[in-house]
């Protein structure tokens, strides 16, 4: 090997850099373990302790020292499944942005186009904006996008004029939408930065308005989700005095009574009594008594539809109209929004805005406010004027949020407060349609633009509100269309199981290589350990996220590394069998194996690359580690193993590349594979027919990734019946499915209940319903304990996953294109390398064969297997890996066929094929065996969440090994033309050499 010195230098540098990078991970773990010990498991104390170290030097390397923040920044990032945390895909509402750009137009054509676009989105791969344009074009008639009542308005007057055509307006709207989504992205990024999560990830997903946010390790998950979804729509409104609506509430109550009477038909003409007219003016106390049914002459409380809901009133002269129970809020809003009720308001009050306040902590009472509205629904002052916000403590010691406004806002604020002072009225401070406070002004107009939001805040709520106001409001609502919440205890279990499976797999492979190849196997083991060091070092250096599938990818890389060494050692053994000297055999063995190693790794790398492009979250982590592993495996197998072998041989050492037991294994084998191809065709055809039959009749167990829904992983103290839980939950949700997940005391519960509804309120409602249904199976477990994030949690809700139907459809289509794309890419690569389409056909046919059989086995067995076999994104990753592995094996065989065509020009076509398959049989079985050992160790000792994933890979390896021998090569053989086979495969020789040979 040339340039040994350069290879040694690179090896040393790579090794040192990897150790340096990983040292940060070990130090970060050490500091966090110490923090846990000091805080005794208290999250808040642990956070405070770690925050105190943020700028402290905690790691001294001699040549440099680092603070805790710097150590964490350089440490390896763990994914949600290993660390716990939150991952969501937010859909920024393009519909809301369009409404805003059109100044909330009432135009019927515009609004119908919006509604039609929403319908189109259910079965469309277009963006919402594209579907809006389609819908508008279909119904517009003479209407134009540049109409004054749509986009040619005051807001867009500088960019859109009345004389523009729709084609001219569309690019402008596209630009505006993109700017709004970028704005939303930046707002979310600032909020996350303020939240203080270590190693967060935020990225746009194409141009659809979707934003992926991953917050590994976040402790307060509910708080994080609320922070992400809050639009932070801050508004300042003038408020009416509550007593101004006493008479109105009485009238509403009477109206509702009459409406109920009509509906029930309980009141007849004979029993109707005319309401007595009394010109005597009622006092406020009289009105309240009538409304509440306290007056002896009034109807009973039960006959007061609105009155019986009232729990009290605000102070005299204050802004509170009435107080209600929190549970009655929706019903009261329904009453107040009825057209008949609004008609009871005096003309000057018709635009009133009824909004509820923020209930006090642990209170079931909520206040109703009446705000002075207007036809355009635009507040006198909005939160856009806020330039700074900070959390402070008010005079009573409670948390408040102080704000500073810009010059324009300060002027309007001074006018508003001056007016309120003169009229002795209040100004309501409204955030996301909730009144946080409605203070009066007692000292005159407030100048300078300073204001304060007080209310029933916790410290975290005040801090988050200040952060949100400082970051700015979202330009539109952002709904969670896909979300995953993983508890920290589940993450720790995943780490433990991942480590165990990794060490067992590694140990078995190291022992096997030593057993099979003797001292050479020991050298391969050293190279493999160095390979693992490089993989973790590169992952840490790149800031990549390590996930549980990522660990599976690393362990699979061990099999890839073994494969490269097996190819090299088998070729060296062949050269030794030919009688060559040791040094010459080693040189030729490495040289001859290089082509097969490159082809095999490139085909696997191509499928991993496609997986990386189409995958998200943990699946992208799997692809990342696989890609890195392929690169490091090539380096260590080709260069590091060679360095060690050359060093040993150079010192006079003797290498047999086998042991006494394995020396003559697979030697002089000459199996006539082609004669068995018809039997193989029949067996494969039968398996495919059975698989297709099951797929069409039995189907597959599609996970929420592909059909949408919510999945909850729940752990109980004792073993539980999945069928009993399914029956109970079906009564609650209408449809639900519970399956045993891993151990008998753990269930995976899936439901499509309210799958099309989004928002934290809906998620909380369903989670509460789930707890209520499962409560009898828990021994006194409270709801707070059920959903808690305790790292030592052993029962309760361990994981939550949600996918909306829209994104589920997108995931399904992306998965289809990923598989199809990988097949096309591989077909073209093999065509490029072997110059004949028959080779590509054989390889792709074998892959189709493997994928169909894996799908068929999943379809046939998912109902009774003791582990989940859902078809989800992880399964697609497994399918693509099976494709890569199957092609890896096939390409090695094809490479040997091409080689034998050139070496043995006098052989018959059949003999070349059979000899090629026989000569690579040792490598095929050896690699398959070591890979199976690795996969089985993960399957048995790894986490429950990847057991189905591993099962698919195990089946894929077995079927892929079979297909490379009995499907791919025979199909190539049957389709290639015998006469020109040699010409297509033989290397092009130098014309001078041909002339010399003829001479």
| Contact of 978 with 852, CB cutoff 8 Å | no
Segment among 618-627, 893-902, 923-932 with least mean pLDDT: 618-627
The pLDDT confidence band at residue 197, using thresholds 50, 70 and 90, is low
pLDDT reading at 982 higher than 60: no
Q: Name the 3-class secondary structure at 87.
A: strand
Average the pLDDT over 616-642 and give the result.
82
Mean per-residue pLDDT over the chain, rounded: 80
Segment among 294-308, 363-377, 706-720 with least mean pLDDT: 294-308
In whole angstroms, what is the distance from residue 416 CA to residue 419 CA?
Answer: 5
φ, ψ (nearest 5 deg) of residue 250: -60, -45
Which of the listed ranges 68-82, 104-118, 142-156, 205-219 does the model predict with the highest average pLDDT?
104-118
pLDDT reading at 272 higher than 60: no
Average the pLDDT over 275-291 and give the result.
52
| Contact of 217 with 43, CB cutoff 8 Å | no
Higher pLDDT among residues 768 and 361, named by residue: 768
Of all residues in the chain, the percent with pLDDT exceeding 90 is 5
pLDDT reading at 422 higher than 60: yes
Segment among 241-245, 829-833, 975-979 with least mean pLDDT: 975-979
In whole angstroms, what is the distance from residue 823 CA to residue 825 CA?
Answer: 6
pLDDT at 269: 47
In whole angstroms, what is the distance from residue 943 CA to residue 42 CA?
Answer: 27
pLDDT at 986: 54
Q: Report the number of secondary-structure helices (H) and strands (E) in the chain.
A: 35, 23
In whole angstroms, what is the distance from residue 174 CA to residue 154 CA?
Answer: 18
Alpha-carbon torsion (439, 391, 323, 346), positive or negative: positive
| C-alpha radius of gyration, the chain, whole number | 36
Segment among 40-44, 608-612, 662-666 with least mean pLDDT: 40-44
Condensed to tens digits (0 to 9), the pLDDT of residues 441-500 reads: 777 778 887 777 776 667 777 777 777 777 666 677 777 777 777 766 666 676 777 778
In whole angstroms, what is the distance from residue 654 CA to residue 664 CA?
Answer: 18
The pLDDT confidence band at residue 790, using thresholds 50, 70 and 90, is low
The pLDDT confidence band at residue 988, using thresholds 50, 70 and 90, is very low
Q: DSSP characters for 668-698? A: T----GGGGHHHHHHHHHHHHHHHHHHHHHT
Average the pLDDT over 77-100 and give the result.
80
pLDDT at 414: 86
pLDDT reading at 725 higher than 50: yes
Higher pLDDT among residues 472 and 916, named by residue: 916
The first and second tokens of residue 114, run together, are 């919006």
Q: Name the 3-class secondary structure at 116.
A: helix
pLDDT at 311: 87
What value, to the nearest 5°, has the Cα angle with vertex 771 and ends 765 and 777?
165
pLDDT reading at 319 higher than 60: yes
pLDDT reading at 540 higher than 70: yes
Domain ranges of the chain: 4-75, 94-205+221-231, 236-267+281-473, 485-654+673-698+809-989, 709-803
pLDDT at 589: 87
Condensed to tens digits (0 to 9), the pLDDT of residues 665-697 reads: 777 778 888 889 899 999 999 999 999 999 999
Q: The CATH number of 485-654+673-698+809-989 is which of 3.40.630.10, 3.40.309.10, 3.40.50.300, 1.20.1640.10?
A: 1.20.1640.10
Segment among 164-168, 288-292, 544-548, 888-892 with least mean pLDDT: 288-292
| Contact of 846 with 893, CB cutoff 8 Å | no
Task: Write the CA distances from 210 to 189, 478, 611, integer angstroms.
Answer: 14, 9, 20
In whole angstroms, what is the distance from residue 118 CA to residue 259 CA?
Answer: 35
In whole angstroms, what is the distance from residue 510 CA to residue 499 CA?
Answer: 16
In whole angstroms, what is the distance from residue 835 CA to residue 814 CA?
Answer: 30
Average the pLDDT over 708-715 and give the result.
84
pLDDT reading at 792 higher than 80: no
**pTM for the structure as a whole:** 0.68
Q: Identify any residues that bridge with 393 across adjacent strands, giving them in sequence order.
A: 399
pLDDT reading at 322 higher than 70: yes
Which of the listed ranges 245-254, 538-547, 724-733 does the model predict with the highest average pLDDT?
245-254
Q: Identify any residues that bridge with 767 across adjacent strands, giving them in sequence order.
A: none
Condensed to tens digits (0 to 9), the pLDDT of residues 31-53 reads: 888 887 887 766 667 767 877 88
Segment among 1-5, 123-127, 448-452, 499-503 with least mean pLDDT: 1-5
pLDDT at 616: 63
Average the pLDDT over 375-387 and give the result.
80
pLDDT reading at 975 higher than 80: yes
pLDDT at 76: 82
pLDDT at 268: 47
The pLDDT confidence band at residue 937, using thresholds 50, 70 and 90, is confident
pLDDT at 471: 63
Which of the listed ranges 240-244, 434-438, 458-462, 701-705 does the model predict with the highest average pLDDT?
240-244
pLDDT reading at 310 higher than 80: yes
Average the pLDDT over 736-755 and give the result.
80
Q: Which of 168, 134, 169 is nearest to 150 (CA)?
A: 169
Residue matched to tokens 């979250």: 617
pLDDT at 274: 45
pLDDT at 43: 65
Q: The CATH number of 709-803 is which of 3.30.70, 3.40.50, 2.40.33, 3.10.450?
A: 3.30.70
Fold classified for 236-267+281-473: Gyrase A; domain 2 (3.30.1360)
In whole angstroms, what is the distance from residue 737 CA to residue 742 CA?
Answer: 16
pLDDT reading at 85 higher than 80: no
């Amino acid at each position: 090997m040339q340039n040994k010195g350069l290879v040694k230098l690179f090896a040393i540098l790579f090794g040192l850099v990897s150790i340096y990078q990983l040292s940060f991970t070990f130090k970060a773990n050490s500091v966090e373990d110490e923090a846990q010990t000091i805080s005794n498991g208290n999250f808040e104390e642990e956070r405070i302790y770690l925050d105190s170290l943020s700028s402290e030097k905690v790691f001294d390397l001699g040549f440099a020292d680092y603070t805790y923040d710097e150590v964490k920044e350089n440490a390896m990032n763990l994914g949600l499944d290993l660390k716990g945390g939150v991952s969501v895909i937010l859909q920024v509402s393009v519909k809301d942005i369009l409404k805003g750009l059109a100044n909330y137009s009432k135009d019927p054509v515009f609004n119908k186009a919006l509604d039609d676009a929403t319908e189109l989105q259910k079965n469309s791969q277009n963006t919402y904006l594209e579907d809006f344009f389609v819908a508008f074009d279909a119904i517009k008639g003479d209407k134009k996008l540049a109409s004054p009542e749509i986009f040619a308005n005051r807001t867009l007057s500088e960019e859109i004029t009345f004389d523009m055509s729709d084609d001219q307006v569309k690019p402008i709207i596209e630009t505006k939408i993109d700017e709004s989504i970028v704005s939303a992205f930046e707002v979310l990024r600032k909020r996350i930065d303020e939240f203080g999560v270590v190693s967060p990830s935020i990225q746009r997903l194409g141009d659809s308005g979707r934003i992926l946010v991953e917050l590994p390790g976040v402790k307060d998950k509910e708080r994080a989700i609320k922070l992400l979804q809050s639009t932070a729509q801050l508004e300042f409104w003038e408020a009416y005095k509550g007593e101004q609506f006493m008479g109105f509430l009485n009238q509403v109550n009477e109206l509702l009574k009459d409406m109920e009477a009509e509906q029930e038909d309980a009141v007849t003409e004979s029993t109707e009594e005319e309401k007595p007219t009394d010109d005597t003016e009622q006092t406020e106390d009289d009105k309240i008594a009538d409304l509440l049914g306290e007056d002896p002459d009034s109807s009973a409380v039960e006959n007061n539809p609105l009155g019986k809901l009232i729990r009290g009133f605000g102070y005299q002269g204050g802004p509170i109209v009435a107080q209600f129970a929190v549970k009655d809020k929706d019903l009261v809003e329904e009453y107040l929004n009825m057209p008949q009720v609004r008609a009871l308001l005096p003309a000057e009050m018709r635009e009133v805005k009824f909004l509820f306040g923020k209930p006090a902590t642990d209170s079931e009472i909520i206040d109703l406010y009446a705000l002075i509205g207007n036809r355009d629904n635009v507040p006198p002052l909005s939160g856009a004027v806020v330039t700074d916000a900070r959390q402070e403590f008010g005079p009573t010691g409670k948390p408040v949020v102080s704000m500073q406004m810009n010059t324009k806002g300060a002027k309007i604020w001074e006018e508003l407060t001056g007016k309120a002072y003169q009229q002795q009225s209040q100004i309501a401070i409204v955030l996301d349609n909730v009144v946080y406070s409605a203070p009066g002004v007692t000292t005159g107009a407030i100048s300078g633009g300073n204001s304060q939001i007080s209310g029933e805040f916790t410290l975290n709520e005040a801090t988050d509100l200040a952060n949100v106001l400082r970051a700015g409001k979202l330009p539109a609502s952002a709904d969670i269309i896909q979300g995953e919440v993983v508890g920290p205890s589940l993450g720790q279990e995943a780490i433990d199981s991942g480590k165990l499976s990794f060490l067992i797999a590694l140990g078995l492979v190291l022992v096997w290589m030593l057993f099979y190849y003797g001292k050479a196997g020991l050298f391969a083991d050293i190279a493999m350990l160095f390979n693992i060091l490089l993989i973790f070092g590169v992952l840490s250096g790149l800031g990549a996220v390590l996930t549980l599938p990522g660990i599976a990818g690393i362990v699979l890389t061990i099999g890839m590394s073994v494969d490269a060494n097996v190819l090299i050692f088998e070729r060296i053994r062949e050269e030794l069998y030919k009688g060559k000297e040791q040094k010459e055999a080693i040189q030729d063995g490495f040289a001859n194996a290089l082509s097969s190693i490159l082809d095999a790794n490139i085909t696997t790398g191509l499928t991993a690359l496609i997986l990386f492009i189409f995958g998200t979250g943990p699946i992208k982590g799997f692809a990342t580690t696989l890609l890195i592993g392929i690169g490091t495996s090539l380096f260590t197998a080709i260069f590091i193993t060679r360095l060690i072998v050359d060093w040993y041989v150079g010192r006079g050492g003797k290498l047999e590349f086998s042991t006494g037991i394995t020396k003559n294994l697979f030697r002089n084998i000459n199996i006539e594979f082609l004669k068995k191809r018809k039997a193989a065709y029949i067996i494969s055809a039968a398996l495919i027919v059975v698989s297709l039959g099951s797929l069409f009749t039995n189907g597959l167990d599609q996970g929420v990734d592909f059909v949408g829904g919510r999945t909850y992983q729940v752990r109980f103290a004792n073993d539980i019946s999945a069928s009993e839980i399914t029956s109970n939950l079906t009564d609650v949700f209408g449809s639900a499915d519970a399956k045993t997940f891993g151990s008998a005391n753990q269930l995976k519960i899936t439901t499509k209940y309210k799958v099309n509804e989004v928002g934290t309120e809906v998620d909380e409602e369903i989670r509460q319903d789930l707890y209520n249904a499962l409560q009898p199976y828990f021994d006194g477990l409270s709801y707070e304990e059920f959903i808690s994030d305790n790292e030592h949690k052993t029962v309760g809700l361990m994981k939550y996953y949600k996918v909306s139907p829209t994104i589920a459809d997108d995931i399904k289509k992306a998965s289809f294109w990923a598989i199809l794309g990988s097949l096309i890419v591989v077909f073209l690569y093999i065509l490029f390398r072997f110059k004949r389409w028959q080779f590509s056909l054989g390889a792709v046919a074998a892959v189709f064969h493997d994928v169909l059989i894996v799908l068929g086995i999943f379809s046939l067995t998912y109902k009774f297997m003791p582990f989940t076999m859902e078809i989800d994104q992880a399964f697609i990753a497994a399918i693509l890996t099976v494709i890569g592995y199957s092609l890896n094996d096939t390409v090695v065989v094809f490479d040997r066929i091409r080689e034998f065509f050139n070496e043995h020009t006098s052989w018959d076509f059949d003999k070349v094929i059979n000899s090629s398959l026989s000569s690579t049989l040792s490598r095929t079985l050896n690699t398959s065996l070591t890979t199976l050992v690795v996969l089985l160790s993960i399957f048995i000792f790894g986490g429950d969440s990847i057991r189905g994933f591993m099962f698919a890979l195990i089946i894929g390896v077995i079927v892929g090994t079979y297909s490379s021998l009995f499907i791919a090569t025979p199909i190539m053989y049957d389709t290639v033309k015998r006469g020109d086979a040699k010409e297509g495969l033989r290397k092009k020789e130098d014309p001078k050499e041909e002339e010399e040979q003829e001479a």
